[in-house]
Structure 1
Amino acid sequence: MKNTALQEAIAAAGKPYTQIAKTINAVGAEAGQSMYYDPAAIAHWLSGTIPASTAVPVIVEAFARLLGWDLAAHDLGWPHNEAAPEDPWEGDPVAWVTRLGRDDMLNRRSLLSAGLYSLAALNLPANLRTITARSGQPRRAGASDVERIRMMSSQFATADDMFGGGHARSTVLAYLIHEVTPLLHGTTGKARPELFTAASQMTYLAAFMASDAGNAAGLAQKYYIQAVRLAEEAGDPTAKATALRGLATQAVELGHSARAVALAEEAVSTLRGKCPVRVRAWMAGMCADAHAANGNTKAALNALHQAESDVERADSIPESQWTGAYRRASLEHQTGTTLAQLADLSAAEAHLINSVHARRNIERRSRVLIAARLAGVQLRQRRPDVAAATVLELRDDLPLLASGRVTGELVKLRASWVPDRGNPTVNEADRLIASLTDR
């Protein structure tokens, strides 16, 4: 029987079958699923064939993006799908983090839906609900517990930047679900807000590591959302803005620039000016990146100017602070990526070089990622030998990193310099990348 609902959705999208199939496959890739649908598959669905249950949420999300509004399986003529993802803004954030962490560590099939990145989930509720009572064995926590969690988060964050988000991720998750979330069930009194802030920060780290490791984008998105909700329960606008910034960064990297602008601006609004100047600069830098990705040159440059002004007059950073520690090197990176998106490649290159040179030894992943982006900018200026030389300078660092973001940048470089492989330097750099990525 012909699927008229799907036919109407295709007509409303106004895209050829090839473009629809490409969008479906791209959404699947974000969720960590290899999909190879083509126009023939869409024709089969129109004739009444129902896709595999694990594919239906992916196809629904793809059509939601093509149409610009939320959909369910029945809107495409298919029965209710048990694999359909839950709304991450509903339910108990503590239960969400616990379940996500356990499933993540065990690589359970439930992650097929958890790994689906959803544009609808980027629509922030008008009012975030907080949970007033939780089931489970209550455990009391005090200032010493908060200090331990903060110290461990800082240590884990240092290891993340040394070796990439794919290293020791299961250790971070185990600490989060076995040592942190149990404390969130029964603590009351003065320690409670700081405890939830510390939990939000560690959940943010879990999100960042999942994103950097190249795991399913939706998994990182859901960790970020729960970090927002835990910060809301803590009454901590800085922790909440930090998690919103993480969502904005992810949206830029996945190509959803308009949503990134809204998230970055919401992060700034959340702070209401009540935060360290350096944190405000961090948020302004993200706004610049998002506006540039969205094609708004004036807004991007204004935000960059604000970030630079704030960095210039920011106080020194406490050694224990690992979120919002926006240094000059970070501003140089954000300026470089912003200008690259605005096609000011020469200036972008200069700022990225400054950022690479200013990075400390413990910032290996950041330094390598920025250098890879620098090579991309150099290649866009048709200087493949210079880009290749930049990559070759990383030969000692690259084998130590487990970072999907770094790998992604390197793979893009290889694809872009194919015509230049006759150049000896390009050939050498190409072999280096191949030895690390063709596994």
Structure 2
Amino acid sequence: MLNRRAAVTAGLYSLAAAATPLPPATRPATRPGTSLRVGPADVTRVRAMAAYFGQIDDLFGGGHARSAVAAYLVNDVAPLLQGASGPTRADLFTAAAEVTYLAGWMAADDLQPGLVQRYYIQAVRLATEADAPLMRATALRSLASQAVELGHAAHGLALADAAADALHNTAPARTRAWVNGMRAEALAATGHDPRRVIRLLASTETDLERADSPPASDLTGNYRREGFEHQVGLTLLNMGDLSGAEEHLAASTAARRPDERRTRALIGTRLATVQIRQRRPEAAAATLLHLTDDLTVVKSARLHRTLSQIRGAWQTHRADPTVAQADQLLLSSLAAVKT
């Protein structure tokens, strides 16, 4: 149910995942012999749970309560899908896509790339069935982000372009900016056409400045200035501009809201990594010490992999008092995950 462009250009990266069925414990499928009457109240409940799980994820990371989201999909959401009809059907499938997307987002935080792909592709299918282009574009964009993170830049660009194709001309400017920012990041990762990268970033910023603010719970368009700063930082990092990347990653980290612990921690550790690459371990240590409250509560395998890499990178600088203090913080954070 991926569109032709996504299926053809994304290649084996997406098609292999699409051909692999989800395990029984995680597949959003209906139960044999069950048929439920579904109404608007069911849609309201599913969306409320998606918002609740999203808040938990922001606060504590994808490694916390991920199994609860998977169980909710199987035990509560999936049985509703076969009972949906009429106007409720599209709304319910869109809500199911939102929960499935969140499950993929949390699995990415837990370093489960195969499971991430399958969840996101299921979200694309559900959104397609619901004729929900914004949700479809959201899932395709996240597939693109994962592809770039895993080193598949060309596939990431194809998926980001497919996400742009999924948007109608009436798509909110904020969502369009979110997708175009990903296109810039993916294009930069390919190493081609830096001028087009800059043009994409410029159009992203223009759309973001013109956008009206959406509800904070809106999965398909909650793209803010701090998110754009992060995107610019990653794009410049892919282009080899370490000082520029540091500037924008620092701005993104500083602007995060108090309840965005996981995001602030992830971006902050990326900032610290860039500072280490510039041979400034003391600056990286200071960055991480400012994130003490986040690093001690967020459960994210992706985050803790980066922390382990940072500890290895500054091993010869532990005599510095700031580095030594930060190293102890990272050691404690990593130990807390194992207990």
Kindly provide the CA deviation profile for residues 325-349 of structure 1, in whole angstroms up to 9, marking residues without a partner as x. 0001100111111112212222221
Q: CA deviation at 1:148?
A: 1.1
Residue of structure 2 equivalent to 1:195: 92
Residue of structure 2 equivalent to 1:151: 48
Query: Whose relative contact order is higher, 1 or 2, with alpha carbons under 8 Å and at least 6 apart?
Result: 2
Kindly provide the CA deviation profile for residues 342-372 of structure 1, in whole angstroms up to 9, marking residues without a partner as x. 1222222111111111110110111111111
**In structure 2, distance between residues paired with 1:255 and 1:189:** 43
1:285 aligns with 2:152: no
- Shift of the 367–353 alpha-carbon distance from structure 1 to 2, 3 Å rule, reads same
Q: CA deviation at 1:135?
A: 5.6
**In structure 2, distance between residues paired with 1:249 and 1:204:** 13
**In structure 1, distance between residues paired with 2:217 and 2:146:** 25
Mapped contact 1:163–1:400 kept (Cα < 8 A): yes
Residue of structure 2 equivalent to 1:6: none
Equivalent of residue 173 in structure 1, options 70, 74, 78: 70
Partner of 2:34, secondary structure, is coil
Residue of structure 1 equivalent to 2:145: 249
**In structure 2, distance between residues paired with 1:319 and 1:330:** 13
1:408 aligns with 2:320: no
Mapped contact 1:285–1:334 kept (Cα < 8 A): yes
Residue of structure 2 equivalent to 1:83: none
- Shift of the 408–300 alpha-carbon distance from structure 1 to 2, 3 Å rule, reads farther
**In structure 2, distance between residues paired with 1:277 and 1:153:** 24
Partner of 1:422, secondary structure, is coil
1:230 aligns with 2:163: no
Q: CA deviation at 1:226?
A: 0.6
Identity of aligned residues (%): 50
**In structure 1, distance between residues paired with 2:180 and 2:268:** 23
**In structure 1, distance between residues paired with 2:329 and 2:173:** 42
1:419 aligns with 2:316: yes
Partner of 1:292, secondary structure, is helix
Partner of 2:293, secondary structure, is coil
Residue of structure 2 equivalent to 1:342: 239
**In structure 1, distance between residues paired with 2:96 and 2:126:** 7
Residue of structure 2 equivalent to 1:36: none
Residue of structure 2 equivalent to 1:392: 289
1:305 aligns with 2:188: no
1:265 aligns with 2:161: yes
Kindly provide the CA deviation profile for residues 349-404 of structure 1, in whole angstroms up to 9, marking residues without a partner as x. 11111111111011011111111111111112211101111111112221211111
Partner of 2:296, secondary structure, is helix
**In structure 2, distance between residues paired with 1:262 and 1:88:** 16
- Shift of the 425–320 alpha-carbon distance from structure 1 to 2, 3 Å rule, reads closer
Residue of structure 1 equivalent to 2:3: none
Q: CA deviation at 1:412?
A: 2.0
Unaligned runs of 5+ in 2: 1-10
TM-score (norm 2): 0.89
Query: Number of aligned pairs?
Result: 323
**In structure 2, distance between residues paired with 1:257 and 1:293:** 6
1:239 aligns with 2:135: yes
Kindly provide the CA deviation profile for residues 110-145 of structure 1, in whole angstroms up to 9, marking residues without a partner as x. xxxxxxxxxxxxxxxxxxxxx9x9964222211111
Q: CA deviation at 1:100?
A: 4.6
Q: CA deviation at 1:228?
A: 0.7
Partner AA of 1:141 in structure 2: V
Residue of structure 1 equivalent to 2:101: 204
RMSD: 2.3
TM-score (norm 1): 0.70
Residue of structure 2 equivalent to 1:183: 80
Q: CA deviation at 1:424?
A: 2.2
1:294 aligns with 2:203: no
- Shift of the 102–313 alpha-carbon distance from structure 1 to 2, 3 Å rule, reads closer
Mapped contact 2:109–2:302 kept (Cα < 8 A): yes
**In structure 2, distance between residues paired with 1:102 and 1:280:** 30
**In structure 1, distance between residues paired with 2:72 and 2:227:** 28
Bigger CA radius of gyration:
1
Q: CA deviation at 1:98?
A: 7.6
- Shift of the 298–140 alpha-carbon distance from structure 1 to 2, 3 Å rule, reads farther
**In structure 2, distance between residues paired with 1:134 and 1:294:** 44
Name the structure where helix makes up a greater proportion of residues.
2
Kindly provide the CA deviation profile for residues 219-270 of structure 1, in whole angstroms up to 9, marking residues without a partner as x. 1111111111111111111111111111111111111111100000100011
Structure 1 window deviating more from structure 2 (315-324 vs 344-353): it is 315-324
